[in-house]
Structure 1
């Protein structure tokens, strides 16, 4: 909808309040409900929002080392701008009107810390090169018969999963929780997050959903909204959903794989497909893939942004550990799917479900375009068999600290995203490492409390 259509809709339907939100550096939606008049007044000049949302961590503790805001600046308001193209009604909240916002000004200048603004910049670069990019992210997540209060009371121990046992692709489990299962599929679709598939994964109470692909920014919007929407729908059924990459050392982790392809502007041709090639891959596809392989060590925190991310990226856990690619191989970092021209695409398998979709998708697209711009040669052979054993092209960093330091020092990362973003983002990741380093874990208590 354009501005006039949105205003007409609000007036015709007597809407008196509007909810809007934007994603912080961790991909957490921050927002508020505003009155009709406040909404209308801000359509031109934006809405003042305290910039502490980019100056604190996922637990609202202020960072001590970021330039964008802090005690040194007094945490002033910065203007965010609602994107009217994100118009949605929230079907599980009496059809409340909802919009996404970001910190890109009308003159195209943006706040370095804003993830959606960063992705908009990369999408614009893709458009200037003459390509239309299609993306989709899929998510795995665990569901528990718990509430925020019971989790606190239990100290996040002895949690009751939605269903017991390991039962991937089960037909029985969804029918046993059909109200929740059907609400997920139906309400997400009504919220303009169309779902291609929804099923149980292996693990107690774990689901996986594939979101229908779309233009890049819309795909990222859907992915960001998906996680919050799932949590809100789950809560209505007395369920808590978690998108942690790895919540239990004895169970599989949760992925957030990214699917992508480049097309002509009119969507008439998949530019990743070449019927004459042995792998059905065009030269453009190979350059794009080579770019991702080359940039992976420089951008890993954008795919694996938390301490917990690296608990998933271990051998034999259905997540990659090496800088590898292959045709339809789920042990490599990059998986080429080439079943037909329509469905030929690249799957980036590093991200877990804990990613900020704007940043993970920005990393994938920017690094792929880097390969195209620099005409990189795909000189890494496709892995045959076990990707964990193929270390010829190197391995991924095994912890957030090493990955963040590598990105902070990377000229490649700064070239792709600008020094302002790289410095802000990596400082927040190093902060995250420091918070973890000073904590005392259950593992330490069990191992040392009595014995030492």
Structure 2
């Protein structure tokens, strides 16, 4: 093949839809005066990383990709160096990754989006490839795409709706002058913040009105970017907000969740606030936040919802099997749905967060809440297990893979739970350490996601746990913790997520 054939064409990386979207994005560049395009990709933690390219560099990347270091894949959330980049394979058991080589970022032009809060700037999500054209095996967006391809190969599409809780706080001291700036493996001191509301009062409109001045630019930006925003609610705890979106196909839902979190955090910070998707900040009076993932399976060709019951059953047979698969793999999947140490603070009985493998009809105590009516095309299930800081790509991929396995193997979910917190069923892991052990022993996700990726993530998460355990050993007195949360967790997750 000629050396002049561009990387994207050489390896057949863009579909006809993407080629058309590439041309449209170039037209948008010119029409809207876009000068900078942020090329981003989600890392192993669900954080967006990448580069800002000039318009000419972006146009070139549409056909040639653009190189970027794979170095972020060496680091845990605190940038502790978990893998030695200067071994022959970089410690990844992947040939060619020694020495921290570059990988190719290839824009997915269907995601090209002008940013309302940044002048003359757009963002586009990218996929990562090795220089030989093979997908980079540690990229979460690739893991999700593979899971969705397996669904399509069996005649299904995944539809997903995002319902995410988060905290809005006002910055009172950025700590840049007096705090630690951090070092590898030791996060910087996060800003000191103040709550923006007081009192527990679910769905109180006065609370929403108090923070309307900052919610307005966030809401306007989400709508201008075309995200299917459905609602912004006052959640139960002071300063806690819930945001919901209409359903999208699996990959679009993950991209939208990542874009939503990016927009919310950046717009808040520009206005003197800090938005955090950490589960439970170490702030007195705060409560746990979760991410509820609403999903259904639809027929690949007809687009019909395959979970709709046509009798008094809670779901169709396919829907029941889908739930059965999710429950069967719920323990091993905890690292994907709840990837932070702090996220396991939610798993308490009678807390409106699940603590065991249950399903229930419109029951918010169950792990899998069924929302259905006979012949209702909107019938679906809600997985309530997720940490609000979960990686969107891995959370949705784990759901898609487990649900499909249940359908293919006709996995029985067991009886509906009337009292999920009293059900005699297996408990979910209560710590990230326990979740790691469960994933390490599991054969399903190793087969589905590959040993290389699972071993990589386990090693990454063990670093996080080891640093936490060391801190607790030096600070063993729970009386010094705020809201029952360690200072380690707050520094690790509050500003980052």
TM-score, L = length of structure 2:
0.84
- Separation in 2, partners of 1:80, 1:166: 45
Choose which of 201, 213, 226 in structure 2 pairs with 1:192.
Answer: 226
The CA RMSD measured in Å over matched residues stands at 2.6
> 2:348, 2:354 within 8 Å by CA — same for their partners in 1?
yes
Deviations 1:90-139 (A, max 9, x none): 00112412101122579983222110110011111111111121101211
Q: 2:142 aligns to what?
A: 117
- Separation in 2, partners of 1:342, 1:435: 48
- Separation in 2, partners of 1:106, 1:272: 42
Once the two structures are TM-superposed, the CA of residue 437 in structure 1 deviates from its matched residue by: 1.1
- Separation in 2, partners of 1:232, 1:107: 35
> 1:194, 1:211 within 8 Å by CA — same for their partners in 2?
yes
Choose which of 152, 159, 163 in structure 2 pairs with 1:134.
Answer: 159
- Separation in 1, partners of 2:37, 2:190: 34
Choose which of 100, 106, 113 in structure 1 pairs with 2:125.
Answer: 100
Q: 1:352 aligns to what?
A: 387
Is 2:438 aligned against 1:406? yes
Is 2:42 aligned against 1:23? yes
Structure 1 unmatched runs, 5+: none
Moved segments of 4+, more than 6 Å: 68-72, 105-108
Deviations 1:214-234 (A, max 9, x none): 011000100111111111121
Once the two structures are TM-superposed, the CA of residue 374 in structure 1 deviates from its matched residue by: 1.5
> 1:165, 1:204 within 8 Å by CA — same for their partners in 2?
yes
SS across alignment from 1:438: helix
Structure 2 unmatched runs, 5+: 1-19, 85-90, 180-188, 482-497
- Separation in 1, partners of 2:421, 2:294: 21
Choose which of 449, 460, 463 in structure 2 pairs with 1:431.
Answer: 463
Q: 2:100 aligns to what?
A: 75
Is 2:463 aligned against 1:444? no
SS across alignment from 1:244: coil
Q: Structure 1's 289 and 48: CA in aligned 2 closer, same or farther, altered over 3 A?
A: same
Q: 1:274 aligns to what?
A: 309
Once the two structures are TM-superposed, the CA of residue 255 in structure 1 deviates from its matched residue by: 0.6
Once the two structures are TM-superposed, the CA of residue 74 in structure 1 deviates from its matched residue by: 1.9
Once the two structures are TM-superposed, the CA of residue 176 in structure 1 deviates from its matched residue by: 2.0
TM-score, L = length of structure 1:
0.92
Once the two structures are TM-superposed, the CA of residue 367 in structure 1 deviates from its matched residue by: 0.2
- Separation in 1, partners of 2:380, 2:144: 20
* Structure 1 stretch displaced more, 103-112 or 192-201: 103-112
SS across alignment from 2:39: strand
Choose which of 411, 419, 426 in structure 1 pairs with 2:451.
Answer: 419
Once the two structures are TM-superposed, the CA of residue 342 in structure 1 deviates from its matched residue by: 2.5
